[in-house]
Every structure is written in C-alpha cells, then in structure tokens.
Amino acid sequence: RETLPESHPELASSYNSIGEMYQNIGEYSTALSYCEKSLQIRQQTHPENHRDLAISYNNIGEICSNMGEYAKALSYHEKSLNIRQEFLPENHQDLAISYNNIGEVYKRMGEYAKALSSHEKALDIKEKVLPENHPSFGITYSNIGSVYDGMGEYSKALSCYEKDLKITKTSLPENHPDLAVSYNNIGLVYYNMKEYSKALFNNEMALSIQQKSLPENHPHIATSYNNVA
C-alpha cells in the first residue's frame, strides 16, 4: 500500500490471499470484503477473460455459497467457468473444480439433477487426466454420493461413498480425519436404509478415528456421538 499504486495487481493478490484465510476460519463477511477488493482491482487492470478474474469469481462464489447466498454463488461460479472455458483445454482440472463448485451450489439449492450433471462433468474430466486412485476422485465420488443421498437413491449413494472410502484409504494415513468423514457418510446412508448394525459399525469407525486424531472437544466428535446414538 505504501509503495504501489492502489490498483496494482500485487495488491489484488494480497487482498485475495487475506480473503481466503478469513474464509478458512469461517469469517465470511470479512472474507467477502477482501475478495471483492481484489476483484475490483483485477477488473480495472486485466482483460475481462483473464485467469486471475476466474480465480476471484470462484473465490467469491465459494464465500457466497457458505453464506447461503446461492443465487449469487452460482452467478460467480458460472462467470469463473466461462472464463476458464475460453483459455483452458477442455479437460483441464480447473474446469473440473468449477463444475464441482457449481454442483455443490445446486445441491444446496435442492436442484439435484443439475447438481448431478455438474459433478459428473467434473468426474469425466478427472477420468481423462488423472490416475484412477488419485485422491481427487474421492472428493468427486463423495460429492456425487451426497447428491444421490439427497435424492433418496441410497444404493447409488452407498456405491459412491464406498469408492470414496477405498481411494481415501490408499492415499491417507489410517487415522486421518478425512477417513472418518467417509465412514460417517456410509454410516448415514445405512441408517437411511434402516440397516442399523452396518450404520453403527461405520459411525463407530468414524468416532474411533476422530478420537485419535482430533482434540477431545472437537465438534466433529460431537457429531459422531450423535450419529452413533
């Protein structure tokens, strides 16, 4: 700020980084303020289809989604996707990220068919460019499973969550918290299917991992106790 013009691109990068940190700690209003400052500078200094603008639109979309402002989130994610489609190869992983984010917004809006379509586009890109056990597949399978779960298609949801668990097991240590998320997801599907013994097994697996890897008063442990109960 002291040495550069107020619309210098490096200031935009600083604002964006600070915004991302506030987003990570859940202070979404502050995060949005910083990311919007970054976007304003980039709109002044970059052509309208510059990749940095795509990053800003994507970040603001994620923040708006976390704040429950889904229409705004969708608008920003679509702007980001449109830019990325202009300058990236059709199977670039950043396109998969955009499709994933759009799918998550549609899921939160309860528009499951659109959510499923977006997540499947992300999966299709990953299948073309990544090895089959890449950890990124676990995220996509989990997202698709969540959509099927919301649709009440529990057998399809279970299949996706089990694929996620298999990949997560091969890529993470045995007591990693992400494994607990996978077990919890499977447990909740079995619960919805009224297969309570299988639900209990998976939720207890999740709780056991969390007790080893998280502080004893972590809210995720409370969620697992609730699921087991």
Domain positions in the chain: 172-228
Instruction: Identify the pLDDT of residue 132.
Output: 82
C-alpha to C-alpha distance for 163 and 133, rounded to whole angstroms: 10
C-alpha to C-alpha distance for 93 and 128, rounded to whole angstroms: 10
Instruction: Identify the pLDDT of residue 61.
Output: 97
Instruction: Identify the pLDDT of residue 133.
Output: 83
Nearest residue to 202 via CA among 225, 172, 175, 228: 228
What confidence tens digit (pLDDT) does each residue in 95-106 have? 999 999 999 999
Phi, psi at residue 174, to the nearest 5°?
Answer: -65, -20
Instruction: Identify the pLDDT of residue 4.
Output: 93
48 DSSP assignment = T
Q: What is the mean pLDDT of residues 165-182?
A: 92
What confidence tens digit (pLDDT) does each residue in 16-37 have? 999 999 999 999 999 999 999 9
User: Helices in the chain by DSSP H: which ranges?
Assistant: 9-24, 28-45, 51-66, 70-87, 93-108, 112-129, 135-151, 154-171, 177-192, 196-213, 219-228
Q: pTM, whole model, 2 decimals?
A: 0.89
Q: Which two tokens stand for residue 154?
A: 């529990």
Cα–Cα distance list, 147 to 14, 46, 120, 134, 226 (Å): 35, 37, 11, 21, 22
130 DSSP assignment = S
How far, rounded to the nearest angstrom, does the alpha carbon of residue 177 sit from its chain's CA centroid?
A: 16
The answer, yes or no, to whether residue 171 has pLDDT greater than 90, is: no
Provide the b/e sequence for 42-51 (b: ≥16 CB within 10 Å). Answer: beeeeeeebe
Instruction: Identify the pLDDT of residue 163.
Output: 95
Q: Which two tokens stand for residue 28?
A: 């979404």
Instruction: Identify the pLDDT of residue 139.
Output: 93
C-alpha to C-alpha distance for 136 and 200, rounded to whole angstroms: 27
What distance, in Å, lies between the first and last C-alpha atoms of the chain? 54
Phi, psi at residue 3, to the nearest 5°?
Answer: -110, -15
C-alpha to C-alpha distance for 203 and 226, rounded to whole angstroms: 9
Please, what sign has the CA dihedral across residues 207, 210, 212, 215?
negative
Percent of the chain scoring above 90 in pLDDT: 93
What confidence tens digit (pLDDT) does each residue in 110-165 have? 999 999 999 999 999 999 999 888 889 999 999 999 999 999 999 999 999 999 99
